């Protein structure tokens, strides 16, 4: 089949655009991430004198870095429409966010759609696969206090102990509010067959668009972060003192990501922008943590039910192009999530100016010493 001149021009334009976007992303990373690290090195005395202010500044810088990642997709036309509950209403409270996992682009989508949720982005902690520790963003997540979890049965018990210790050490000392995790423990395409076999063996529903979640990390988070009285335990004097400082985890936000035509966006597409502009749909449902059972068997059933509901939500979306209306309502209302191009340009400009500033500083000290 002969290729027309118009088709050749279109392919050439797409390749050139992808190359330019990749070059910009590399330059962006080379200035933004080292600048983040250097700012925090310089601010170490503040960390000793006023830890709260230090982590406030770190959170602002962290949000700006995530905004830069969001801008790569936003400027490529990868936008987000939101459905269900309005999570802005609980943005000041502590919440655990449960998300289905289809591709590497899921994280980028969350980085985008949470940008306009107040202080959430700068006060959130991420649970992610340990492989991300070795990416360009790994040093940022390490400093911010995210937790990298190793998958596999051989590591499971040890990782849960480490997660509990990590939460106790970093979550409240750094004033974290939201914690984000992917309970499925891997991408849909990698876990679907195993999950379906497990479901068949244990007489559980057959799922196509999600997989059965794993309990471990969710249970540890609830046990560690929920205030004692929320679990139904008597709150003694120590608990009352703790409660005066923090109300503990108050909400579980069940988040469902749906891609147009069921085709997930991966990180390569997000960076290179070779896919046509598309809308990703994100559905939220908020549960009070007091309604979440604490006992392992009951919690497992509750968590399974959330992903069975996700299956129904996604089935409806792929059949109709929209999520179903909430129970008791006749129409589902969507909200288009927007970002300010002026703000994104300002953040990107600040990153490059910071890179130039640090370069000049190093050049000055280099000439002074040598």
Any domain includes 241:
no
Helix (H, G, I), strand (E, B) or coil at 355: helix
| Cβ count within 10 A of residue 118 | 15
- Local confidence pLDDT in tens for the 370 residues of the chain: 556 777 777 878 889 889 999 999 999 999 999 999 999 999 999 999 999 999 999 999 999 999 999 999 999 999 999 999 999 999 999 999 999 999 999 999 999 999 989 889 999 999 988 888 888 889 999 999 999 988 777 777 899 999 999 999 999 999 999 999 999 988 998 999 999 999 999 999 999 999 999 999 999 999 999 977 544 443 443 443 344 356 899 999 999 999 998 899 999 999 999 999 999 999 999 999 999 998 999 999 999 999 999 999 999 999 999 999 888 788 888 999 999 999 999 999 999 999 999 999 998 888 888 7
Instruction: Give CA–CA dist 99/48, Å, rounded.
Output: 36
DSSP state string for 358-369: HHHHHHHHHHHH
Residue 238 in domain: no
Rounded to 5°, angle at Cα 169 from 165 and 172: 125
Long-range contacts at 49-56 (CB < 8 A, ≥ 24 apart): 51/173, 52/175, 55/174, 55/175, 56/122, 56/175
Residue 234 lies in a domain: no
In a domain, 61, yes or no: yes
Span 101-117, pLDDT tens digits: 999 999 999 999 999 89
DSSP bridge pairs for 284:
84, 255
End-to-end CA distance of the chain: 64
Q: How far apart are CA 308 and CA 64, in angstroms?
A: 35
- Which secondary structure element, helix H or strand E, spans residue 337, and what is its range? strand 334-337
Q: Is residue 236 one of the residues assigned to a domain?
A: no
Whole domain around residue 55: which residue ranges? 5-227+247-323+332-369
User: Over the stretch 273-326, which tens digit does the pLDDT of each residue have?
Assistant: 999 999 999 999 999 999 999 899 999 999 999 999 999 999 999 999 999 988
Angstrom distances, CA of residue 327 to CA of 9, 282, 287: 50, 18, 14
Q: What is the CATH number of the domain that holds 36?
A: 3.40.1130
Query: Whose structure tokens read 């409240």?
Result: 172
* Domain membership flag for residue 232: no
State the pTM of this model.
0.89
Phi, psi of 258 (to 5 degrees): -125, 130
> Domain tally for the chain?
1
The tokens for 188 are 């849909």
Give pLDDT, residue 255.
97
Q: Is 337 within the bounds of a domain? A: yes
Question: Are the CB atoms for 93 and 177 separated by under 8 Å?
Answer: yes
Query: Which pLDDT does position 244 carry in this prediction?
Result: 37
> Given this model, what pLDDT does residue 305 score?
95
The C-alpha atoms of residue 182 and residue 254 are separated, in whole angstroms, by: 11
């Amino acid at each position: 089949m002969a290729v027309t001149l118009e088709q050749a021009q279109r392919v050439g334009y797409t390749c050139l655009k992808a190359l330019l976007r990749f070059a910009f992303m590399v330059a962006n990373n080379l200035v933004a991430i080292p600048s983040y690290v250097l700012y925090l090195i310089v601010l170490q005395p503040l960390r000793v004198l006023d830890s709260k202010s230090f982590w406030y500044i770190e959170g602002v810088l962290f949000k700006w870095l995530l905004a830069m990642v969001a801008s790569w997709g936003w400027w490529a036309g990868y936008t987000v429409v939101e459905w269900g509950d309005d999570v802005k209403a609980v943005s000041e409270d502590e919440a655990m966010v449960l998300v289905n996992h289809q591709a590497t682009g899921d994280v980028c989508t969350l980085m985008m759609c949470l940008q306009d949720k107040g202080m959430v982005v700068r006060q959130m902690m991420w649970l992610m696969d340990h492989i991300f520790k070795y990416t360009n963003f790994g040093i940022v997540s390490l400093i911010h206090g995210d937790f990298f979890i190793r998958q596999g049965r051989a590591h499971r018990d040890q990782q849960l102990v480490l997660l509990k210790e990590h939460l106790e050490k970093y979550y409240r000392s750094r004033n974290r509010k939201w914690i984000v995790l992917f309970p499925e423990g891997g991408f849909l395409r990698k876990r679907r067959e195993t999950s379906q076999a497990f479901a068949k063996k244990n007489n559980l529903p057959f799922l196509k668009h999600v997989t059965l979640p794993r309990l471990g990390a969710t249970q540890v988070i609830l046990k560690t972060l929920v205030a004692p009285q929320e679990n139904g335990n008597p709150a003694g004097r120590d608990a009352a003192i703790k409660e005066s400082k923090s109300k503990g985890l108050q909400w579980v936000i069940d988040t469902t990501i749906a891609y147009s035509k069921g085709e997930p966006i991966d990180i390569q597409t997000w960076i290179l922008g070779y896919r046509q502009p598309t809308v990703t749909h994100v559905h939220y449902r908020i549960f009070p943590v007091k309604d979440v059972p604490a006992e392992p068997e009951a919690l497992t059933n509750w968590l399974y039910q959330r992903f069975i509901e996700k299956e129904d939500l996604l089935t409806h979306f792929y059949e109709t192009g929209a999520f179903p209306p909430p129970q008791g309502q006749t129409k589902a209302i969507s909200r288009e999530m927007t970002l300010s191009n002026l703000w994104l340009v300002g953040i990107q400009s600040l990153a490059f100016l910071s890179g130039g500033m640090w370069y000049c500083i190093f050049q000055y000290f280099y000439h002074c010493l040598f």
